[in-house]
Amino acid sequence: MKNYFYLQYKIINRSFVEFGIPVIIGYLIILGGFFIGSEKLFQKVDYAYLIYIVLYAGFTLQLSNFDRNRFLQSCFSQEKYFKLRLIENYALAFPFVLYLIYKQNYLVISFILVLAAILSFIKFDAVFQKTIPTPFSKKPFEFAIGFRKTFYVFAIVFFVLIKAIDVSNLNLGIFSIVACFAIIFSYYSFPENSYYVWNFSLTPKEFLWNKIRVSLQYSSYLVVPFVSILCFFFFKEFESILIFTFLGYLFTIAGVLAKYSAYPEKMNVVQGVFLAFSLYFPPLLVVVIPIFYFQAIKNLKIIL
């Protein structure tokens, strides 16, 4: 197991180097960003502890992937496999627990620690090897693949929405919409093989607009039910809900363009910084989106 964790450590370090930032700075950015994000969350949302639990469960369930667990079980004995899962789950819980100690919320800490132990026994077995029907076609592939990997997260987000209605907390409801867009954004995190781009008989401009059109259409399949339910129960605040929805669509467009502005490489730290600043100051998207667009056109001209 020692070699396995050392390998994971090296992989994380390498990702920082590929982004062009020193390793120590990368860790400080993540820890600092996590603390600031947590502080904002607990300042602005009444039921932040609930979101905290959902976020932790969402991250940890990513480790329950069938192929990943099958590989681990082929490498380790059953006893070592469960120890490894337990260590990973508690390692992921560490920053959450650290912040909750700062907030002196020991009840939620206990819940997360118990949840970490329970989730170490969960893996998506043969049931989830079956092809899960989605409302998305194979073209483009991002939504079909992404939805099959994250469908359970939508169930968690839907629970948050129901809780928001139950406690009449609009902020919690808006968080569920933002979470939907964040999940969708993750579908564009990794570049596809250039062959799948070259396969399109389109100009770079036509290719990008096709990607954006489909991303907006498919995003609506996932987001509109949440927005409709929230508007129904918080009708007086429907303008705020629609504003956040509109911003979510803009970030989706920015995500598509950011992917191809770095193509065929993964998004780098520059795109990440632009998007992070846009989160805090959404009007910046008016500048960021055209920059990504023209960079994407330039990159795609080489392939299309």
Output the pLDDT for position 126: 47
Output the pLDDT for position 261: 85
User: For residues 89 and 116, is the Cβ–Cβ distance under 8 A?
Assistant: yes
What CA–CA distance (Å, rounded) separates 89 from 108? 16
First to last CA, the chain: 45
* DSSP symbols for 72-98: HHHHS-HHHHHHHHHHHHHHHHHHHHH
Side chain identity at 91, as an amino acid letter?
A
167 Cβ neighbours under 8 A, 6+ residues apart: 46, 47
Output the pLDDT for position 223: 93
Output the pLDDT for position 3: 83
Residue 160's Cβ-count burial label (10 Å; 0-12, 13-18, 19+) is buried
Output the pLDDT for position 127: 46
Q: Which tokens go with 65?
A: 């992937």
Output the pLDDT for position 70: 80
271 Cβ neighbours under 8 A, 6+ residues apart: 258, 261, 262, 292
User: For residues 257 and 289, is the Cβ–Cβ distance under 8 A?
Assistant: yes
Output the pLDDT for position 139: 64
Output the pLDDT for position 131: 63
Going residue by residue through the chain, which has 304 residues, state the pLDDT in tens, using 9 for 90 and above. 788 888 888 877 776 776 667 778 778 877 887 888 788 778 877 777 877 887 788 778 777 777 778 888 888 888 888 888 888 888 888 888 988 898 888 888 888 888 888 888 777 654 455 666 666 766 667 888 888 777 778 888 888 888 888 888 888 888 889 888 888 888 887 788 888 888 788 898 999 999 999 899 999 999 999 999 999 999 888 888 999 999 999 989 998 998 888 888 777 666 776 777 777 677 888 888 888 898 889 888 888 7
What CA–CA distance (Å, rounded) separates 141 from 70? 25
List the one residue out of 164, 294, 185 whose CA is nearest residue 232.
Answer: 164
Output the pLDDT for position 138: 63
